[in-house]
Chain A
C-alpha cells in the first residue's frame, strides 16, 4: 500500500477544511472499504483525515419518533443497541449481518453510506426507511442521497455527521448473501412508514433503488403473496459471476415477500 499522511482533526470544521480542495485527501472512518481499496491500488489517497478523534460523531439517540445514529457509530454498536432493537429491529439485524465481527467492530454507518457500495446493506435501510442524512452543510433526504454506482449527493468536503431513521410501523430486511463476499447478492428492505410503503433493493443494480411496483402492491395489501405476485424486470439489473440479472430479479420478489412475512 502507498504511503499516506494521516490527519487527526478534533472537530468537524477542521476535518472538512483539511479535505477542501484536495483531490487526494479522503475522510477515514472505519477504513474497512477505503483501506482495502488503497491496498488494491483502486484508490490513491495520499492524505487521510481520521474522523475517530472528533467528539460527538458516534452514538445512538432516540429523537421523537426516530433514531439518530452518529456517522462514526460502528456496525456492532448499532446491532447491539437496545434502542435500535426495540424501535427498528430490522435495522439492528441488518447491521448485525454486515461482514464479520472484525468488520462490524471497525466499520461505521457514515462510511458505509458515503461509500455507497452497490451491494452494501445500510443503503437499503436508509432508502427503505426514508431516512435523512445529516451533513455538516445540510439535511439530505434518502431519495436524493444515492446517485449511482459509488456515487452520492455529497460534495467533496461534505461530511456526514448523522443519519436519522424514522420509526416505521412495520419493517424488515432480507439479505441473500453473495457466497464469496457475504455482501448482499440481493437485499430487500420493506417498510410501512408515515410516508407510505417503501421497498428498497440493494445488491441488484449499480445503486440501491426502490421498486414502485412492489410498493404499490403492498400499499393495497401488506402480504407476502402480494409481493410475490409482482414480476420484477431484469432490465438494468447486474449480471456477473455470481448471479444473472434474471435470477436477481426473481430474488427481489422472493426476498420482498419474505421480508413482509417477517415484518
Chain B
C-alpha cells in the first residue's frame, strides 16, 4: 500500500484551513457595493396576508429596496419546484400546490417569508424588516402529523384534506394472506420524531448581477450547486442557465438540509438585478430552526407475520409522513422511494406492502436529512424485528440469523436488487465486539447496583450511490443521478481534479486525492480537488445519499483511466513501442517485459510540449472528463449493538457501550470513514435520546427554536464507540465502494431504543427517550 494511497489513514488536507480559521464560507465573501437582506417572516403558522405596508420601513436609514410576494408574482415568477413526482395509488399525480418564493396569499408556517428588506447594513435591514407592517388574518393551524388529514383547516386549497398523496408499494394481497395464515403477528405503533438539521454553518447566500455580461453569480451554502442552478434557472426564474454561476464554497455541514433550492437565495438572485448591487443574507440561528427543511416526522403502524420458527412471512407498513407546508425539493421521494424500498432490510421476508399518506401541515417543509427515508425504514424494520423476537421468545440475534438474506444478487419484494453483502459476518463480529455473551452477567451486576441494563440490536441496510438515472426516472425523478468528473493533468504532472460531488464535511479533498494519487502513482500533494463551482466544474449532481465516492469517485476514476489510456499512447510514441505493449504502474509507463520506461510527469510534459509527439494521431494536452451513471444502488449494511444502563430513580439513560460493525465495501481512508461513522452515530443517538422538534399542536408555534430547548448531542452524551468493518466489495463500481456517510444515523436509533425497551421491559418508548419518558415507562411497569 502506498503511504498516502488507497487504504491509508491520511490526515485530512482540508483540516489545515478549517482548524486555523482560514476556511472561506459564503458569509466570508463580501463583494464591492455589498447590500444585506433581512426577511420578514410570518409569526403565525397559518394566516391570510391581507396587506403589507412597507412605507415606514422604506423610509428607514439605509434601506435600498423592499419586495413582497406580490412584487415578485407580478413579474410572472412561479414557485419552487419539487424534483420528484409521486403518483397516488390510483395513478393520479400528487398535489403540488405552488410554493411562492415570497408568500402571496397566505403564510403557511411560522417563519414563512413574506417580504424581503435590502439595506446598506445587516442591522439596518433587520431594523427595517421589523418595521414592515403585515396585516395577518390568523387561521386555525394544522400541526399534527397523525391528525392532519382530519383537521378542519386546509393548508392549501388544492388539498382540502391536507393529503399530498396516498402511495402504495408492494403486494398488498400477498401480505394480507401472510398475515391471515401467520403463526404470530407482531404489531407496533411508532413515531419517527421530527428533527431540525442544525448544520454548524447556517444557510447563507450572496447574489450579484453583472450588467456588462448580463450574468449572475450566486454564492450559496449548498450541497449541489449545479442542481441549484438548474432548478433556479429552468423552473423558477427563467434566467438562461449559462448566465448564472453558482459557487458553493466551504460549507459547514449540510446533512441534507442544503441540498434543496430554497426561497431565500432565489429571491436574492431575482432582486440582485433589480437593485443592481450584490445582496447577502445569512440566516441567524433562529431562522435556521424555523426555515431549514426539517427531517423525519413519520407516524407508522407495522405488522410482522411469522411462522412457528420465527421466519418472517410478510410485513405490512402504514405510514403517515409530514411534508410540512410546501413540497421541498425532494420531499415527495423521501417517505416513498427512499423509504418503502428499504423495508426488506437484511431479511428474506417474501411479501412486503407499504402505504404512505403524505400530509401538508403548517410547519416548516420536511425533506431529506442524513439518511433520508432509510433511517425511517430501518427504524420500522429493526424495531419490529426486535419486538418479534421478544414476542416469539427468541434471542434478537437468533431471529436475525434465521431471516438473513444469504444469496446474492437478491431481488427484494420492494424493488431493489442487493448485489452483495454478508450479514451474518457483520452480526457475528458485532456480537463478539459487544461481548454479547457477557451481557447477562453485566445485567445482574447492574441490578445489584439498582440499575437497569438493556441491550439492543439493529441490522440495517441502506441504498446508497444514488442512482441509476433510468431507474430513478421510472420512479418519478425529474433529474438524472449520474456524476461528472474531470482530471486535468498540468504540464509538470501535477493534477487538478474537478468533481461534481461537493464536500461539506466529508473530506473529499483527501479521499478523492488518495484515489487519484494511488491510481496515477504520484504523491497526494500533487493532486488538488476542486468542487462546488459551476464556473469550474463541468457538471454535477452533488453530494447526498452517501453517493460521492461510489458515483462521483467512479466518474473521477473513469477520467483517470482515460488519462492513463492517452498517456500510454504518448509513452508508446516516446518509447517507440506499440500502444498495446505499454504498461502503467506506480507512476511509470513501461514497455512490458523491458526496462524501457518514461515517468508520468514526462508524458504530461510531452502532451503540452508536443515536439516529439504523434500529432497526426493524437491531440496534444492531457485533460479528460467522464460522466458515470451507476448501474445499481450500493448497499452498505451492518449490525449495531447498543448497551444501556438506566437509573430508575431519574430515568436517565447512559449508553455504556455502542458497537457498530459496518460493511462499506472497500475503504479508501479508514480514519475518515471512522469519523463519518462516529458523526452519524452521534446524530442517530441524538435523535433517539435528545433531539425532538416540537410544534404546538394548537397554534403551530415552534416550541424548540433555540438551543435552550432543542437538545443537540454533546460529546459527553456519547460513549467511546467500538467500530469495526467487514468488507464485501461492491460488485458494480471499479473502486468496490458503497458509501459510509449515513450509516451511523441510520443504524443507531433502533439499536438504542431496542436497548432501552429491553432494559425497562416495555414495548415502545417515544423518541427522544428523555429521562422523564423513561421514568414514566418504568413507573408504568411498577
Collect the chain B residues with CB atoms within 8 Å of residue A176's CB: 650, 652, 771
Chain A residues 210-246 with CB under 8 Å of chain B are: 241-244
CA gap between A3 and B650 in the complex, in Å: 44
Whether A247 sits at the interface, judged by CB under 8 Å, is yes
Interface residues on A, range: 10 to 19
Whether B775 sits at the interface, judged by CB under 8 Å, is yes
CA gap between A179 and B710 in the complex, in Å: 9
Q: Which one of A179, A181, A251 lies within 8 Å of B770 (CB-CB)?
A: A179
Collect the chain A residues with CB atoms within 8 Å of residue B772's CB: 242-244, 247
Contact B694 A179 (CB under 8 A): no
Contact A247 B775 (CB under 8 A): yes
CA gap between A179 and B123 in the complex, in Å: 33
CA gap between A176 and B770 in the complex, in Å: 12
> What are 26 inter-chain pairs, A to B, with CB distance below 8 A?
A2-B123, A3-B123, A40-B286, A40-B706, A176-B650, A176-B652, A176-B771, A179-B770, A179-B771, A180-B704, A180-B707, A180-B711, A181-B709, A241-B704, A242-B709, A242-B770, A242-B772, A243-B771, A243-B772, A247-B771, A247-B772, A247-B776, A250-B775, A251-B650, A254-B649, A254-B650
Contact B775 A241 (CB under 8 A): no
Collect the chain B residues with CB atoms within 8 Å of residue A241's CB: 694, 703-704, 709
**Contact pattern, A 242-263, Cβ under 8 Å of B = 1, otherwise 0:** 1110010011001000000000
Chain B residues 685-741 with CB under 8 Å of chain A are: 689-690, 694, 703-704, 706-712, 717
CA gap between A176 and B707 in the complex, in Å: 17
Chain A residues 1-47 with CB under 8 Å of chain B are: 2-3, 40
- Which A residue sits closest to B704, measured CB to CB? A241
Q: Which one of A2, A181, A250, A251 lies within 8 Å of B707 (CB-CB)?
A: A181
Q: A241-B694, A241-B704 are in contact. Are A180 and B709 (CB under 8 A)?
A: yes
Contact A179 B775 (CB under 8 A): no
Add 19 more A-B contacts to A179-B690, A180-B690 (CB < 8 A): A40-B706, A176-B650, A179-B717, A179-B770, A179-B771, A180-B709, A180-B710, A181-B708, A241-B694, A241-B704, A242-B770, A243-B771, A243-B772, A244-B772, A247-B775, A247-B776, A251-B650, A254-B649, A254-B650
**Contact pattern, B 762-776, Cβ under 8 Å of A = 1, otherwise 0:** 000000001110011
Collect the chain B residues with CB atoms within 8 Å of residue A243's CB: 771-772
Name the distance in Å between A55's Cβ and chain B's nearest Cβ. 34
Collect the chain A residues with CB atoms within 8 Å of residue B717's CB: 179
**Contact pattern, B 741-782, Cβ under 8 Å of A = 1, otherwise 0:** 000000000000000000000000000001110011000000
Instruction: Give the size of the chain B interface in residues (CB under 8 angstroms).
Output: 23
Collect the chain B residues with CB atoms within 8 Å of residue A179's CB: 689-690, 711, 717, 770-771
Collect the chain B residues with CB atoms within 8 Å of residue A254's CB: 649-650
Chain A residues 122-180 with CB under 8 Å of chain B are: 176, 179-180
Collect the chain A residues with CB atoms within 8 Å of residue B652's CB: 176
B703, B711, B717 pick with most chain A CB within 10 angstroms: B711
CA gap between A181 and B714 in the complex, in Å: 11
- Which A residue sits closest to B690, measured CB to CB? A179
Collect the chain A residues with CB atoms within 8 Å of residue B703's CB: 241
CA gap between A40 and B286 in the complex, in Å: 9
Chain A residues 164-216 with CB under 8 Å of chain B are: 176, 179-181, 183
Collect the chain B residues with CB atoms within 8 Å of residue A2's CB: 123
Collect the chain A residues with CB atoms within 8 Å of residue B711's CB: 179-180
Task: Please provide the 10 A-B residue pairs with the shortest distance between their CB atoms, ordered closest to farther.
Answer: A180-B711, A179-B711, A181-B708, A247-B772, A254-B649, A243-B772, A180-B709, A179-B690, A241-B703, A241-B709
CA gap between A250 and B652 in the complex, in Å: 13
Collect the chain A residues with CB atoms within 8 Å of residue B286's CB: 40
CA gap between A19 and B772 in the complex, in Å: 44
- Which A residue sits closest to B652, measured CB to CB? A176
- Which A residue sits closest to B776, measured CB to CB? A247
A40, A241, A243, A251 pick with most chain B CB within 10 angstroms: A241
- Which B residue sits closest to A228, measured CB to CB? B649
CA gap between A2 and B649 in the complex, in Å: 46
CA gap between A208 and B123 in the complex, in Å: 37
CA gap between A180 and B717 in the complex, in Å: 11
CA gap between A100 and B286 in the complex, in Å: 21
B649, B652, B690, B710 pick with most chain A CB within 10 angstroms: B649
Collect the chain B residues with CB atoms within 8 Å of residue A250's CB: 775
